[in-house]
Homo-oligomer: A and B are copies of this chain.
Amino acid sequence: MSDIEIARAANKKPIQEVGAKLDIPSEHLLPYGHDKAKVSADYIASVRDRPDGHLILVTAVNPTPAGEGKTTTTVGLGDGLNAIGKRAAICIREASLGPCFGMKGGAAGGGYAQVVPMEDMNLHFTGDFHAITSAHNLLAAMLDNHIYWGNEQDIDIRRVALRRVMDMNDRALRQIVASLGGVANGFPREAGFDITVASEVMAILCLATDLADLQRRLGAIIVAYRRDRTPVYARDIKADGAMTVLLKDAMQPNLVQTLENNPAFVHGGPFANIAHGCNSVMATTTALKVADYVVTEAGFGADLGAEKFFDIKCRKAGLSPEAVVIVATVRAMKMNGGVAKDDLGTENVEAVRAGCDNLGRHIENVKQFGVPAVVAINHFVTDTDAEVQAVMDYVESHGSRAILCRHWAEGSAGITDLANHVVEMVEGGGAQFAPLYSDDMPLFEKIETVARRIYRADEVLADARIRDQLKQWEAQGYGDLPVCMAKTQYSFTTDPTRRGAPTGHSVPVREVRLSAGAGFVVVICGEIMTMPGLPKVPSAEAIGLNDAGEIEGLF
Which segment, of A166-174, A298-306, A378-386, faces chain B? Answer: A166-174
Chain B residues with CB under 8 A of A41 = 549
Determine the distance from Cα of A123 to Cα of B242 in the docked complex, in whole angstroms.
Answer: 11
Which of A137, A171, A549 has the most C-beta atoms of chain B within 10 angstroms of its own C-beta? A171
A138 part of interface (Cβ distance < 8 Å): yes
On chain A, the number of residues with a Cβ less than 8 Å from chain B's Cβ atoms is: 74
Name the 4 nearest CB pairs between A and B, nearest first: A241-B544, A175-B181, A130-B130, A242-B540
Which B residue's beta carbon lies closest to that of A144? B172
Whether A544 contacts B245 by the Cβ 8 Å rule is: yes
Whether B172 contacts A178 by the Cβ 8 Å rule is: yes
Chain B residues with CB under 8 A of A180 = 175-177, 190
Which of B238, B248, B540, B545 interacts with A239 by CB under 8 Å?
B540
Whether A177 contacts B177 by the Cβ 8 Å rule is: yes
Which B residue's beta carbon lies closest to that of A45? B549
Which of B97, B124, B215, B533 interacts with A145 by CB under 8 Å?
B533
Determine the distance from Cα of A167 to Cα of B138 in the docked complex, in whole angstroms.
Answer: 9
A66 part of interface (Cβ distance < 8 Å): no
Which B residue's beta carbon lies closest to that of A169? B141
Which segment, of A29-37, A84-92, A408-416, A433-441, faces chain B? Answer: A29-37
Give chain A interface residues in 30-79, CB to chain B under 8 Å. 30-34, 41
Whether A543 contacts B145 by the Cβ 8 Å rule is: no
Known: A144-B171, A148-B171, A244-B545. 7 other contacts (CB 8 A): A31-B32, A137-B168, A142-B541, A175-B181, A176-B178, A176-B179, A215-B544
Which B residue's beta carbon lies closest to that of A122? B245
Give chain A interface residues in 237-266, CB to chain B under 8 Å. 238-242, 244-246, 248-249
A179 CB to closest chain B CB, in angstroms?
A: 4
Whether B141 contacts A130 by the Cβ 8 Å rule is: no
Chain B residues with CB under 8 A of A141 = 101, 168-170, 172, 534
A538 part of interface (Cβ distance < 8 Å): yes
Whether B541 contacts A242 by the Cβ 8 Å rule is: yes
Determine the distance from Cα of A174 to Cα of B188 in the docked complex, in whole angstroms.
Answer: 11
The 23 sampled A-B contact pairs (Cβ below 8 Å) are A31-B31, A31-B32, A32-B33, A101-B142, A124-B130, A124-B249, A130-B133, A137-B170, A140-B170, A141-B168, A145-B171, A145-B533, A148-B171, A171-B185, A172-B179, A174-B185, A175-B181, A176-B179, A177-B180, A241-B542, A241-B545, A242-B544, A245-B543
The number of times this chain is found in the oligomer is 2
A533 and B170 in contact, given A33-B30, A138-B101, A242-B544 (Cβ under 8 angstroms)? no
Whether A242 contacts B101 by the Cβ 8 Å rule is: yes
A184 part of interface (Cβ distance < 8 Å): yes
Chain B residues with CB under 8 A of A184 = 171, 533
Whether B545 contacts A248 by the Cβ 8 Å rule is: yes
A131 part of interface (Cβ distance < 8 Å): yes
A389 part of interface (Cβ distance < 8 Å): no
Whether B127 contacts A124 by the Cβ 8 Å rule is: yes
Determine the distance from Cα of A142 to Cα of B543 in the docked complex, in whole angstroms.
Answer: 13
A339 part of interface (Cβ distance < 8 Å): no
Whether A551 contacts B245 by the Cβ 8 Å rule is: yes
Chain B residues with CB under 8 A of A238 = 540-541
Give chain A interface residues in 149-186, CB to chain B under 8 Å. 149-150, 164, 166-181, 184-186
Chain B residues with CB under 8 A of A176 = 176-180, 191
A134 part of interface (Cβ distance < 8 Å): yes
A540 and B138 in contact, given A144-B170, A244-B545, A549-B41 (Cβ under 8 angstroms)? yes
A378 CB to closest chain B CB, in angstroms?
A: 30
